[in-house]
Amino acid sequence: MKKKLALLMCLAMLATSVIGCSGGNGETTSGGETSAAGETTAAADGATGHKDTLIIGTDVDINNLDLQAQQDQINNIVLKNTHQALVWFTNEGEFEPGLATSWENVDDTHIKFTLRDDVYFNDGNKTPMTAEDVKFTLDMAMESVSAPNLAGFVSCTVDGDYEFTIETESYNNEFVQSLASQNLAIQSKKAYEDGVEDPYYIGTGPYKFDSWVQGEYCRLTKVEDYWGATTDQEVPDWAAPGVAETIDFKPYVEASSRVIALQAGEIDVCVNPPINELPFLEEDPNITVYEQAGSRLFYFAFNVTKEPWDNQTLRQAVACAIDRDSVLQAAVEGKGTLQTTILNRGLWGFYDDMEGFDYDVERAKELMAEAGYPDGGITTTLTYANSSPYESIATIIQANLAEIGITVTLSPCEDATLKSTCVNGDQELFLWRWNEDSKVDFVYRDLFYTGSGSNYHHYSDARADELTDLVATEKDPDKRLEYAQELQTYLVDACPQVPLYIANLVIAYNSNLQGQYFYGGGNHYWAHAYIAE
Partner 1 sequence: MIKYIVKRLLQLIPVIIVTSFLIYWAMNLTSGDPALLIAGDKATPEMLEQIREEMGLNDPFLVRYGRYMLGMIQGDMGESYITGKDVFQTFMETLPNTLMLGGAAVLIAVIIALPLGIYTAIHQSTWKDNVGMVFALFGTAMPNFWLGLMLILLFSLKLGWFPSGGKAGFSSVVLPAVTVGYGLAALIMRTTRSSMLDVIRQDYMTTARAKGCSERQVIFRHGLKNALIPIITAIGMQISMIMTGSVLAETVFSWPGIGRLVNDSIARRDNEMVTGAIIMCSICMCLINLVVDLVYAFFDPRIKAQYAKKG
Partner 2 sequence: MAKKANTVSTNNDVIKSRSQFQEVFHRLLKNKGAVIGMIFLLVLVIIALISPLAFDYETQVIGQNMADRLQGPSAAHWFGTDEYGRDLFARIMWGSRYSLIIGFGAVTIGLVVGTILGAIAGFKGGIWDQLIMRFIDIFYSIPNIMIAVVIVSVLGTSTVNLVIALSFSAATGFCRVVRAAVMTVRDQEYVESSYAMGLPTWKIIAKHILPNCLSPIIVQYTLQVGTTIISASSLSFLGIGVPAPAPEWGALLSGGRSRMRDASYLCVLPGLAILFTVLALNLLGDGLRDALDPKLKK
Q: Site residues for partner 1, window 414-443 (CB under 8 A)? A: 414-417, 419-421, 423, 434, 442
- Our finding on whether 335 is near partner 1 (CB under 8 A) is no
Q: How far apart are CA 513 and CA 269, in angstroms?
A: 8
Check residue 9 for interaction with partner 2 (CB under 8 A).
yes
Q: Residue 421 touches which of partner 2, partner 1, none (CB < 5 to 8 A by kind)? A: partner 1
Could you count the other beta carbons within 10 Å of the beta carbon of residue 230? 13
CA atoms within 13 A on the CB side of 495: 19
For residues 56 and 499, what is the distance between their CA atoms, to the nearest angstrom? Answer: 32
Tell me the closest approach of the beta carbon of residue 181 to partner 1, in angstroms.
Answer: 10
Determine, following the binding rule CB under 8 A, whether residue 125 of this chain makes contact with partner 1.
Answer: no
Residue 277 touches which of partner 2, partner 1, none (Cβ within 5-8 Å per kind): partner 2
Which of positions 264-283 make contact with partner 1 (CB under 8 A)?
264, 266
Residue 224 neighbours by CB under 8 Å, 6+ apart: none
Q: How far is it, in rounded angstroms, from Cα 341 to Cα 450? A: 19
Cβ partners under 8 Å of residue 500, min gap 6: 297, 298, 299, 300, 322, 324, 327, 328, 331, 338, 339, 393
**How far is Cα 456 from Cα 493, in angstroms, rounded to an integer?**
18
Provide DSSP, 441-481.
HHHHHHHHSTT-TT-TT----HHHHHHHHHHHH---HHHHH
The radius of gyration of the chain from alpha carbons, rounded to an integer in Å, stands at: 26
Work out what residue 419 binds among partner 2, partner 1, none; the CB cut-off runs from 5 to 8 Å by kind: partner 1
Residue closer to partner 1 (CB basis): 70 or 81: 70
Least separation in angstroms between CB 532 and partner 2? 29
Residue 326 binds to partner 2 (criterion: CB under 8 A) = yes
Choose one: 10-18, 42-50, 479-487, 512-520; the region binding partner 1 (CB under 8 A): 10-18
Of positions 52, 132, 210, 216, contacts partner 1 by CB under 8 A: 216
- Taking CB under 8 A as the criterion, which residues in 360-389 touch partner 2? 386-388
Of these partners, partner 1, partner 2, none, which one is at the site of residue 276 (CB under 5 to 8 Å by kind)?
partner 2
Contacts with partner 2: how many residues (CB under 8 A)? Answer: 36
147 contacts partner 1 (rule: CB under 8 A): yes
The residues, ordered by sequence, that sit 6+ positions from 388 with a Cβ below 8 Å of its Cβ are 255, 274
Choosing from 162, 252, 299, 384, the residue that interacts with partner 1 (CB under 8 A) is 252
Specify the 3-state DSSP secondary structure of 397. helix
Which is closer to partner 2, CB of 400 or CB of 489?
400
Identity of the residue, 255 or 369, whose beta carbon is nearer to partner 2 in the bound complex = 255
By C-alpha distance, which of 440, 459, 439 is closest to 449? 459
Q: Which positions from 52 through 71 interact with partner 1, judged by CB under 8 A?
A: 57, 61, 63-64, 66, 69-71
Least separation in angstroms between CB 402 and partner 1: 27
Smallest distance, Å, CB 355 to partner 1?
29
424 lies in the site for partner 2, by CB under 8 A? no
Residue type, 375: D
Please report how close the Cβ of residue 377 comes to partner 2 at its closest, in angstroms: 16
Per-residue HEC secondary structure of 258-327 comes to: HHHHHHCCCCCEEECCCHHHHHHHHCCCCEEEEEEEEEEEEEEEECCCCCCCCCHHHHHHHHHHCCHHHH
Task: Work out which of 391, 461, 469, 486 binds partner 2, going by CB under 8 A.
Answer: 391
The site partner of 165 among partner 1, partner 2, none (C-beta below 5 to 8 Å per kind) is: none
Instruction: Decide: residue 25, CB within 10 A, 0-12 exposed, 13-18 middle, 19+ buried.
Output: exposed
- Residues 330-359, interacting with partner 2 (CB under 8 A): 330
Written in H, E and C, the secondary structure of 476-502 is CHHHHHHHHHHHHHHHHHHCCEEEEEE
Residues 85-104 that bind partner 1 (CB under 8 A): none
Residues that bind partner 2 (CB under 8 A): 1-7, 9, 255-256, 259, 274, 276-277, 279-280, 326, 329-330, 386-388, 391-392, 394-396, 398-399, 402, 410-414, 417
